[in-house]
Structure formats: C-alpha cells, structure tokens
Amino acid sequence: MSAEGYDESRIIDGKVLAQQIEEEVRSGVEDLESNRGVTPVLATILVGDDPASRMYVRLKHKACERVGIRAEDYLLPAEASQEELASLIDTLNKNKDVHAILLQLPLPKHLSPQEAMETIDPAKDADGFHPYNMGKLMIGDEGLVPCTPHGVIRALEEYNVPVKGKNVVIIGHSNVVGKPMAAMFLNRNATVSVCHVFTDNLKKYTLGADILVVAAGVKHLIKVDMVKEEAVIFDVGITKEESGVYGDVDFENVIKKASLITPVPGGVGPLTIAMLMKHVLMCTETNF
C-alpha cells in the first residue's frame, strides 16, 4: 500500500508514462536536428485572457522545453473576429517554419471553434480536431488523433490491457474525447457503448464495463456501486473547488474495486500533454 493508503499497483501513473513518452519525443527531436537540421516549432494561439487557458498553454510550453520543441505564442484580444482568427491561422499554415498549430480552447463565445479548427492545415493539426483527421480516424487510419483518447490507448498498451472483444463504456460524447475515443476502441474490435447526459439508467451501462472512460465533468459522478470488480477506469473529468481538484470518479472508494484506475490529478492530464508533444514531432516529420 502507498503512504496514502492506496494500492499503487492499481494506479495508472500518468506522470511516469508521460515522462516515458516525452523521452521518446526528445530522442526524435534530436534525430531531426542532427540528421536534417530541423527543430520542431509549435505555434499556440490564445484568444483572450482566460486564466485557465493561460495556465494550460504554460503547461504545454513547459513540455515543449523539456523535449526540445520551440513554442511560439500568438495572442489575439478577446474581441477578435472570426476573420482575424482565420487570417492568423492562414498565415501560420503558409509559414514553412511552423510545423504544428494549436488553438487553445475554449474560445470567446462569439467565435466558432469548429470553423476555426477547419481553417488549420490538417498536416499541422497538433490536436487532431480537423474533420480530415477525424475522418481518417473513422476509417481506421489513425494519424493525428485527439490527444486525450490517444493517451488512453497508449496507457492501455503500456499496461497490457486487452481491448479486443471487451465491453467499453464511454461517458461523454464530445468531439474532443467521447466520439474519437469510441472510434479508437472500435478500431481495436471492442464493443462500445457511449453514454451522455440524456442516457437513461447510466448505472446499467457502467456495471457492464470492462473498460470505463469517464469524461463528463461532473464531480464523483461514478460511485463504487456503479462499477464492476476488476474494471479498468480512465477518469478524464476535472472539477476544481476550493478544497481541491476532483475527477468524475469517486477515486477513494472505486480504487478498491478497479484493477486499474487513473488518479485526478496526475492521470490522463500529463498523458494528454505528452501525446501533444508526440503529435508535434509527427507534424514536423510530415511537413519538412
């Protein structure tokens, strides 16, 4: 048992796995620099001055520093128009010295994130949100896919969790996590159920899950009586309160039943950023 009283063998340590992925990226960056004289460049676009978005951009830039990627900041005021945002993206698309582009979400309410994402060159789409990349994912051609689902799949591989034929339940059907996650599991021949806010009797679904991915953003939505023994659980949700940071899963109780579970924080978050670094490297290899 760990010092906190948890069985560490049940915890998927996102920080350790993220370090491993970053090491792979750092090695790839060094190869590019020594063999082709190219340093990967990630352009990050931030519209407005949202504190949480600023923090996420900082975390991504720190990861860039660790792996040798050069991060460039592009800031637009909160009142920027859709046309101004599109014009900036178009400039970055045409800039041969920029290999990957990241648009930090959420955008101010008057802007369409989907329209903006569609403006990004699919080959520079570090987040994997462009319809072209999403479409490739749907037909089983997984290249630049959304970072969080990619991180979940990588963790399953690292922990030798079988997926083929397993019952997978995903809670949340966003374009960022739920839908691409479902496609990635289907590509690996799992049986997939996608639940959401309109699902009747959520517990009926979660009790049958061999693998459960929860991305609802509702603190402790998943209680211990909603999961089966030895389930593998990925908690993607995050709720910040004065008392601390919480996931969608009642970790303290559910860990007693789960065979593997990600903590919040320190689980899926670091993996997501590490996979972003991997995508920047992929973009650079494609675009040079």
Spatial separation of the C-alpha atoms in residues 211 and 168, rounded to whole Å = 5
Residue 239's alpha-carbon distances to 118, 172, 209, 219, 235, in angstroms, are: 29, 15, 23, 6, 11
Q: Which residues are catalytic?
A: 60, 104, 127
Which among 219, 136, 238, 215 is positioned nearest to 169, based on CA atoms? 215
Spatial separation of the C-alpha atoms in residues 236 and 232, rounded to whole Å = 13
- Contact status, residue 110 vs residue 84, Cβ threshold 8 Å: no
User: E-assigned strands of 92-210?
Assistant: 100-103, 167-171, 191-195
Beta strand 244-246 with 239-241 is antiparallel
Residue 236, CB half-sphere, CA atoms under 13 Å: how many? 21
Q: Which residues contact 242 (CB under 8 A, 6 or more apart)?
A: none
